Amino acid sequence: MLSVSNLSVQFGKRILFDDVNTKFTIGNCYGIIGANGSGKSTFLKIISGKQ
């Protein structure tokens, strides 16, 4: 299981995430959708430890 607690990300005055909490459980398949520039890749980089 992977869990994210109280994640907040801001670039300058632009807030991408504010107090994000979620759990990814074993055996499930997840997808991340959103508009261009909404922070999908940034979120994945953060939870993978690359950013």
pLDDT higher than 90, residue 37: no
Beta bridge partners of 20: 7
Domain-by-domain residue ranges, the chain?
Answer: 2-48
Over the stretch 4-15, which tens digit does the pLDDT of each residue have? 999 999 989 999
Q: pLDDT band at 51, cuts 50/70/90?
A: confident
pTM of the predicted model, to two decimals? 0.80
Which H, E and C letters describe the chain, residue by residue? CEEEEEEEEEECCEEEEEEEEEEECCCCCCCCCCCCCCCHHHHHHHHHCCC
Q: pLDDT band at 21, cuts 50/70/90?
A: very high
pLDDT at 38: 87
pLDDT higher than 90, residue 30: yes
Give the DSSP letter of residue 38: S
